[in-house]
Structure 1
Amino acid sequence: MLILGIDPGTAIMGYGLIEKNGQKLSPVTYSCWRTPSDLPMPDRLRMLYESLEDFLGEYSPDVMAVEELFFNRNTTTAITVGQARGVILLSAARRNIEVSEYTPLQVKQAVVGYGKADKKQIQYMVKAILSLQETPKPDDTADALAIAICHAHSMGRRINGGMFK
């Protein structure tokens, strides 16, 4: 099964495609898409949409896992991340790809085993779990792989589209 993890953003959108074969997780490809900050937002969203559409056409993942919108004090960031998530959800819907959403806490718990893990701990575990030679860069790419790993670890606990607790 091919699982695409995406860390939404408009400046940098990280992605990580992994394959789950039994209990084994293997990296397929991972990187990020970047948009120039001087472009108007509609153009940046179009660029992300086109990049994602090309990717989905080439790799045909079975499922997508996306980080849920985490809203803290910065409403501007939350709005732009929400717009990027809209692009992701639209692309998935157009191709009938199931999307699962995970909070940062769920991702940290699934990958590190600790909900307050920092970026370095997440990156270390992503590298170890996927047997990578180097830590994925930038952080958005490592986060996307962590989201995909979270989904892979959560799949056995899903019942009727929801999480079994």
Structure 2
Amino acid sequence: MRVLGIDPGLTRCGVGVVDGAPGAPLTLVRVGVVRTSPDDDLAARLLGIEQGIEELMDEVRPDAVAVERVFAQHNVSTVMGTAQAGAVAIVAAARRGLPVALHTPSEAKAAVTGSGRADKAQVTAMVTRLLRLDAPPRPADAADALALAICHLWRGGAQSRIEAARLAARSRMKGSSGR
């Protein structure tokens, strides 16, 4: 299974693609960051994120998308921007009929380190080890995106199959109702 992990953000949106399955070795497919300028208006920034994610999906053809679930932060404008960037990713995946899962930062940390309270350095170190990389993925947003993809591969596979079946059934129902 190929999973695109997305660590949403307006300035840096981490993206990481991993191939794998529970109990099988993991393989890095792609890792990076979609960047936008804080000087651009919100619409331009969201469009830039959407275009970057769409291009990546065209290139790597993921089977599922895992997006970090937004949690409460002290800075309301930061949480709003993060939520908006996450929504763009969810819409891009839904447009392609891909199953989307939301994972909390604690779930992703626990999946790769064994502790939901791990710090960024611990997450990055374990992602580097699990994917057998020569160097840690940078910046931290990219490592977080890979952690989300790994979390989904190890924890969300069954949920993805259920969601994919549900979407396929809904699509068949729409197709048969138009006859």
> What TM-score results when the alignment is normalised by the length of structure 1?
0.93
Q: Is the 8 A contact 2:101 2:156 kept in 1?
A: no
Structure 1 counterpart of 2:171: none
| Alpha-carbon distance in structure 1 between the residues aligned to 2:68 and 2:156 | 16
Tell me if the contact between 2:65 and 2:98 (Cα under 8 Å) persists in the aligned partners: yes
**Equivalent residue letter for 2:154:** H
Q: 2:13 is matched with which residue? A: 13
Q: Compute the displacement of 1:160 (Å).
A: 4.7
Q: Residues 69 and 20 (structure 1 numbering): CA distance in 2 closer, same or farther, change over 3 Å?
A: same
CA distance in 2, matches of 1:50, 1:132: 28
Larger radius of gyration: 2
- The residue aligned with 2:156 is 155
Identity of aligned residues (%): 39
> Secondary structure at the residue paired with 1:27?
strand
Cα drift, residue 56 of structure 1:
1.0
Aligned partner letter, 1:140: D
- Greater fraction of residues in helix: 2
Q: Does residue 74 in structure 1 map to residue 102 in structure 2?
A: no
Which of the two has greater strand per residue? 1
- What root-mean-square deviation, in Å, do the aligned CA atoms of Structure 1 and Structure 2 show? 1.4
Between 70-79 and 14-23, report the one with greater CA deviation. 14-23
- TM-score, scaled relative to structure 2: 0.86
Residue 72 of structure 2 aligns to which amino acid in structure 1? F
In structure 1, stretches of 5+ residues that fail to align are none
Aligned counterparts of 1:156 and 1:51: Cα–Cα separation in 2: 25
Name structure 2 gaps, 5 residues minimum. Answer: 164-179
- Secondary structure of the residue aligned to 1:114 is coil
* Cα distance in 1 for residues equivalent to 2:37 and 2:132: 32
Could you tell me which amino acid in structure 2 is paired with residue 82 of structure 1? A
Matched residue of 1:29: which SS?
strand
